[in-house]
Amino acid sequence: MTLSRMVLTVCLSAASIFAFTSSASSTEVEKLSVKQMQAELALIQEVLETQHPNLGLHQSKKEFRASFSKTRKELTHSLSPQEYYRIVLPLVAQVRDGHTCIFMSEEAERKFFYFQNGFPLLLNFLHDRTVVSEESYPFPAGATVTKIDGRPIEEIVQILSNYACNDGSNSSSDLYEANKNFPTLYSLAFEEPRTDFILTFADEKGEESERRYGGETLSYAAAKYRDGSWLPKPFMWGKKLEESEAFYLRVRTFLADKGRFAATLESVFKEISDLGVEELILDLRGNPGGTIDNASLLLAYLLNKKHYFPKHIHVPKAKLQPLMDVKKRTDLNSNSKDPVAAANNVLRRIHRFGGRRKAQPQGYYVLLTQRVWGKKAYKDGLHVLIDSGTFSAASMMAAQIDLNRKATFYGEPTGGSPNRNCNAPSFFYELPHSKFRLDVAWACNIQDPNSKGDLFEPDYFFSDTKPDRRRADRLLTFVQKVIKDDWAFEKPKPKPARAPQN
């Protein structure tokens, strides 16, 4: 099973975006009738209610059903796929599960990206303010933005959260989505036609001024926000840092071939042992998750006792049903000819071999027999870097480290819920008329059935407010100074305080 992150990704790949020509303007996308949309909404609701284990965790089922009922009543005329998507996306996102979302068809995406204006500046959404990124030169880099088109930034981020598929009510994850997909989310949330945007800036004295900026083609505006994340990168790398003599290990993802991951991990920790380093910096920032087996293997090198990872699994009470056309998630390398049958086989094995079944108010849980035990684990100083991009298996792993050994955490709250993380499905449903893709998680990993656990906070909160934070790693510099005892401060209580910066 996998736990790779299912975030809102309505963007096309960079290659397809820029290869697509203006010929799309002559291609008319057929509108969806009220009858077609009503039928699809009924299917979406049935799939979520019968197959998602955690439905009702963040809202009552009565509220969930009322939202679908209200939407069906408001559908009185035909809509384009783009207009329909603006309506249906919040209905799915309200489940508040980062592994459950809905995506436009390729044809609808093309129309959406080429016939709307996108936001022209690159912004950094921080916990206390929003600033213009240095990459937006010659615009005012570092300037604080307080409003866009007259709306306060706080209100905008809150509205955008309705269009992003996140774990729980997590402000950290909301900021992450805004930083990653802002032009797309803004166009979805505020569809009124425009040729430009009005930004309100605040200076150091708090005095505000307005400036008008022309919009860009949405495809280009959205591409700027990707920050090259679509480029191939190593899933793990490490080196000894000269300044602090600590070993720095960056784990970008756990979604990697198990054999390669194991071999790389063995090589890295052999180097750590040979060097005799006494401080290890584990960087999980931006790690979207991946396979539990890989995360468990890394834990085996860090923990020196037996434990369960995860402790429980929450699964649907009923057998999964192919209520719509089912297609394989090729990015998760599903080899099954019938992915729904394969998923049901997994559920049967969980019930049959998973151990003692426990009845809980939310449904059925099983105690897993999978254990992780590192007999030759690294026992010296451990410093873990996390942020709002630490998601799924990565956020669960951070919580396991915190539960089972001494470690210090730095950065920002994780984007994923460490206590309750659902699995990315190995298949998706294709809606019959719009051809939208519906991903629904059908199993959730749970540490404590009696706790929601929406947020995992660091010991030392550090949010970089500089406009060049994409290039400069001030958090890593800060951690090295902590290791060298160049900085003395108390652990912030009860709310993390911002760490001092140069």
Domain count, the chain: 3
Considering the domain boundaries, does residue 358 fall inside one? no
197 and 262 both lie in a single domain: no
Burial of 206 (0-12, 13-18, 19+ CB in 10 A): exposed
271 and 393 both lie in a single domain: yes
Burial 414-423 (b: 16+ CB within 10 A, else e): bbbbbbbbbb
Report the CATH number at residue 86: 1.20.920.70
Structure tokens at 180: 């990653």
Which DSSP string do the residues of 89-141 spell out, in sequence order? Answer: HHHHHTT--TT-EEE--HHHHHHHHHSSEE--S-EEE-SS-EEE-GGGTTS-T
Structure tokens at 346: 């997994």
Residue type, 192: E
145 and 288 both lie in a single domain: no
Considering the domain boundaries, does residue 447 fall inside one? no
Burial of 128 (0-12, 13-18, 19+ CB in 10 A): exposed
74 and 39 both lie in a single domain: yes
Please tell me the chain's helix, strand, coil percentages from 3-state DSSP, rounded to the nearest 5: 35, 20, 45
Residue closest to 116 by CA, chosen among 32, 24, 49, 198: 24
pTM of the model: 0.84
Contact (Cβ atoms closer than 8 angstroms) between residue 424 and residue 4? yes
What is the DSSP-derived secondary structure letter of residue 291?
A: B
The rounded distance, in Å, linking the Cα atoms of 478 and 225 is 26
43 and 124 both lie in a single domain: no
Per-residue confidence (pLDDT) for residue 73, from 0 to 100: 94
Considering the domain boundaries, does residue 7 fall inside one? no
Structure tokens at 369: 């027999």
Considering the domain boundaries, does residue 338 fall inside one? no
Q: Return phi, psi of residue 18, to 5°.
A: -85, -15
The rounded distance, in Å, linking the Cα atoms of 430 and 328 is 11
Contact (Cβ atoms closer than 8 angstroms) between residue 183 and residue 119? yes
Within 375-431, where are the H helices? 393-404
The rounded distance, in Å, linking the Cα atoms of 470 and 467 is 8
Structural domain of residue 287, as residue ranges?
232-308+374-418+453-502
Per-residue confidence (pLDDT) for residue 381, from 0 to 100: 92
Report the CATH number at residue 502: 3.90.226.10
Q: Could you tell me the CA-to-CA distances from 64 to 49, 61, 318, 416, 420 in Å, in that order? A: 9, 5, 20, 22, 20
Give the DSSP H or E segment for 422. strand 420-422
Considering the domain boundaries, does residue 339 fall inside one? no
Considering the domain boundaries, does residue 351 fall inside one? no
200 and 105 both lie in a single domain: no
What do you get for the CA distance between the two ends of the chain, in Å? 43
**In which residue are the tokens 């860090």 written?**
302
Which residues, other chains included, contact 432 with Cβ-Cβ below 8 Å and sequence gap of 6+?
A: 36, 39, 40, 43, 324, 325
Which residues, other chains included, contact 64 with Cβ-Cβ below 8 Å and sequence gap of 6+?
A: 48, 49, 55, 56, 94, 95
ω before 193 within 30° of 0 (cis)? no
Considering the domain boundaries, does residue 458 fall inside one? yes
85 and 126 both lie in a single domain: no
Per-residue confidence (pLDDT) for residue 331, from 0 to 100: 67
238 and 380 both lie in a single domain: yes
Report the CATH number at residue 201: 2.30.42.10
Q: Return phi, psi of residue 152, to 5°.
A: -60, 145
Boundary-marking domain end, from 114, 145, 166? 114
Considering the domain boundaries, does residue 438 fall inside one? no
284 and 400 both lie in a single domain: yes
What is the DSSP-derived secondary structure letter of residue 451?
A: -
Query: Between 81-93 and 61-74, two packed helices, what is the crossing angle to 10 degrees?
Result: 170
**In which residue are the tokens 């605040």 written?**
202
Q: What angle do CA 480, 484, 485 make, to 5 degrees?
A: 115
The rounded distance, in Å, linking the Cα atoms of 364 and 271 is 44
473 and 486 both lie in a single domain: yes
Boundary-marking domain end, from 114, 131, 156? 114
Residue type, 295: A
- Under-70 pLDDT residues of the chain: 1-29, 135-139, 227-232, 331-335, 351-375, 449-454, 465-471, 486-502
Residue closest to 129 by CA, chosen among 184, 200, 183: 200
137 and 241 both lie in a single domain: no
33 and 101 both lie in a single domain: yes
Structure tokens at 13: 């790949």
Boundary-marking domain end, from 56, 88, 114? 114
